[in-house]
Structure formats: structure tokens, C-alpha cells
Amino acid sequence: MPTLETAPAASNIMLTLTRVIRAPRARVYEAWTDPEVIKQWFGPVGMYCPSATSDARVGGAYSLAAQPTPAAIAADPACANRGGIATGSYTRIVPNELLEFTWKPSWNPGEQSLVTISLRDVDGGTEITLRHENFGSEQSRNSHNQGWTGCLDKLAAALES
């Protein structure tokens, strides 16, 4: 079950989510680094990823777009203007074990945070721990918690089907 953590210092507001995905660790790693696979799962509930790029090496850049699905727009036309692009660069990589990257969301200009994805083998699959830190506010952290939870649900669905 996802948990929220807030560090004592206001400058390091963070969240940590842990999930077991019934897929081999190499496949889960690929899902975070291969743009074609990323497009299959990235985006919170009601959104999809029309474009993704990933140069998965230290210093390499990535870009992930999220847009409302047609069904979401039909249900709530006001959401048509939601969405955006997250960009950043990879700061640490251990293939099939760890990805760390900066996170600059277009929907929150000026905020730059850090995401760390850790993978380890467990009975029945791969445990993924997503740690996102250095949020500018608790509101941003809470919004990202909802978004990342949706993303992890979609990642599990994509890899476990």
C-alpha cells in the first residue's frame, strides 16, 4: 500500500511508494527506459502518454508527455486542457536495479525534484520502490502521489497481462 513520508525539513518534502509487480526485474527496468514501453503505461488515471523519449545514461535526457484520454474529456470537458510534459536528466543508473532522475513538470513551473526507482527481486516478481523528493509544497507532493499511484497501477497492468 502506498505510504507518504514527509521529512522534517520543509525543503525535502517527499513520497515513497512500494509495489510488487509480477514481472522479471529486467522487464520492469525496460518499462522505465524504453520509450515504446513507457507509452503503454505512463500517465495517471484518465491520461495517456502520446510521446516519450529516454536516453537512459547518466547525463542523458528524457521527456514524458501526459494528455487526457478521449473518455476522460467526454466525462469532463474541462479536463481537455490538463496534461503536460515532465523532463529531466538521469543522475544515477544501475541497469536493472536503479534509476535516478531529475523531474521538471511543465504543470508546476520552477519546481525541480528528484525521482529514484529501485528494483529488487522478490517472490513472485519485482519490488519497485519509487521515491520522489524535494517537492516545493505538500500540495505538489499529494498531487504527485495520486499521479504516481495511477502510473504504478497502469505499469502493473501492462506488465502482468
CATH number where 52 lies: 3.30.530.20
Strand 13-21 relative to strand 125-135, pairing = antiparallel
- pLDDT confidence of residue 3: 53
Model pLDDT for residues 40-63, shown as the tens digit of each residue: 999 999 999 999 999 999 999 999
Model pLDDT for residues 122-147, shown as the tens digit of each residue: 999 999 999 999 999 999 999 999 99
- pLDDT mean over 58-72: 96
What is the number of structural domains in the chain?
Answer: 1
Model pLDDT for residues 2-13, shown as the tens digit of each residue: 555 544 444 589
CB 31 within 8 A of CB 38: yes
The domain in which residue 119 lies consists of 3-160
C-alpha cell at 26: 529486467
